Amino acid sequence: MSIMNIASTATSAALPRGVRLDQDHGADAVFVETSAARAVLHLDGAHLTSWVPSGESDLLWLSPESEFGHGAAIRGGIPLIGPWFGPGRDGTRSVKHGWLRTSRWDLVSAQPDGDDIVLELTSTKDTATLTATAVFRIGAELSVDLTLTAGEEALELEAALHTYLAVGDVRRIAIEGLENAEYLDNTRGLAPDVLGDEPLRLTGSTDRIVDAHGEVTIVDESASRRLVSTPRGTAKTVVWNPWDELVTGMADLPDSSWPEFVCVEPAVAKDRFVSLAPGASHTLGVTYRIEH
């Protein structure tokens, strides 16, 4: 029996100090509050919506117009994308970005490790095709690892960690670590292009699938901080913001909200999908830290 089932039918005695189960926006969530950090993790989608290390403001941005609960795709935080990206490699998938972010997950483990809390969740949906495990290490740094295992048949896997990073003003950030990389521009029908040799600065609607898998730093001039993303098991870095050009067509985003975030996503997608043999696994992960 999962910890979530134990807690809902009896008590939260199986949870360590600093971890509790409660409701957030009317939906079941795990709350972490320790000397190192505070966090909120929704069981629908295994969706982390907040991580606040001690002495800092939230790394993550969450839309005030987002939906929550069973079947909802939360707008903000860290959506887990897969087993396909966007409409899929052939463009025919009717459910955008796959089912991981809208299915129910079970909390199977919550353990202290020094000053950190480590949460492990498993998805209960579509286990014949794919099994999924997500591990969140919450402390002075944040680590997320998503492991996807093919079922009885081979799987051409696409996945991403679609992180919404909170920034003071997206027009005043610089993204370091993507210089001179090739990319596909999804605002121009996936047209191929190459980034320049300076840090990337956004000037309009941006949806770029960049052929880069190293550490990325978002220099947030307005908030006087640096957000460092260190990925693993990745092949691409997706950079997205709708700008004022596209935000008006998105019901779960206030029209004035687009300057408040940037999505910088570790991914295996498009031509850099992962081919999994039956029973084989792939782990996509990232660690975040805030610097000044």
pLDDT per position as a tens digit, 161-176: 999 999 999 999 999 9
Q: What is the mean pLDDT of residues 224-231?
A: 98
CA 98 to CA 259: how far, in whole Å? 27
Closest CA to 229 of 166, 158, 290: 290
Tokens 């997950």 belong to residue: 105
Residue-wise DSSP of 57-117: --SB-B-TT---STT---SBSB-EE-SSSTT-TTS--SSTT-STTTSBEEEEEEEEETTEE
**Upper half-sphere CA count for residue 254 (Cβ side, 13 Å):** 10
Q: Show the CA angle centred on residue 78, arms to residues 74 and 83, nearest 5°.
A: 85
Q: Computed from CA positions of residues 107, 114, 59, 188, in that sequence, does the dihedral angle turn out positive or negative?
A: negative
Q: Residue 129's pLDDT is what?
A: 81
- Would the pLDDT of 277 be above 50? yes
Q: Which of these is catalytic: 42, 47, 97, 162?
A: 162
Q: Residue 145's pLDDT is what?
A: 98
- Using a pLDDT cut of 90, give the percent of the chain over it: 86
Active site residue 282: no
Instruction: Give buried/exposed letters for 235-250 (b at 16+ CB in 10 A, else e).
Output: bbbbbbbbbeebbeee
Instruction: Give buried/exposed letters for 23-32 (b at 16+ CB in 10 A, else e).
Output: ebeebbbbbb
59: burial class by Cβ within 10 Å (0-12, 13-18, 19+)?
buried
- Would the pLDDT of 4 be above 60? no
Question: If you ran DSSP here, which 8-state letter would residue 6 be given?
Answer: H
Closest CA to 240 of 279, 275, 209, 286: 209
Dihedral in degrees, nearest 10, Cα atoms 167, 171, 172, 177? 80
CA 29 to CA 233: how far, in whole Å? 27
Q: Do 205 and 245 touch, CB atoms closer than 8 A?
A: yes
- Would the pLDDT of 258 be above 60? yes
Q: Residue 56's pLDDT is what?
A: 98
* Confidence grade of residue 156 (pLDDT, cut at 50, 70, 90): very high
Average pLDDT, the chain: 93
- Would the pLDDT of 135 be above 60? yes
Q: Residue 90's pLDDT is what?
A: 74
Q: Residue 7's pLDDT is what?
A: 44
Q: Residue 14's pLDDT is what?
A: 83
pLDDT per position as a tens digit, 6-33: 444 333 448 999 999 999 999 999 999 9
Q: What is the mean pLDDT of residues 264-268?
A: 97
Q: Identify the weakest region by mean pLDDT among 22-31, 85-94, 183-192, 203-212.
A: 85-94
Q: Residue 92's pLDDT is what?
A: 73
- Would the pLDDT of 284 be above 50? yes
Closest CA to 228 of 80, 53, 101, 82: 53
Please indicate, yes or no, whether the overall pTM of this predicted structure exceeds 0.75. yes
- Would the pLDDT of 237 be above 70? yes
Active site residue 162: yes
Tokens 């990337």 belong to residue: 200
Q: Which of these is catalytic: 120, 158, 260, 265?
A: 265
pLDDT per position as a tens digit, 27-86: 999 999 999 999 999 999 999 999 999 999 999 999 999 999 999 999 999 999 999 887
- Using a pLDDT cut of 70, give the percent of the chain over it: 93
Q: Do 48 and 60 touch, CB atoms closer than 8 A?
A: yes
Contacts of 223 (CB under 8 A, 6+ apart): 57, 167, 168
Question: If you ran DSSP here, which 8-state letter would residue 254 be given?
Answer: -
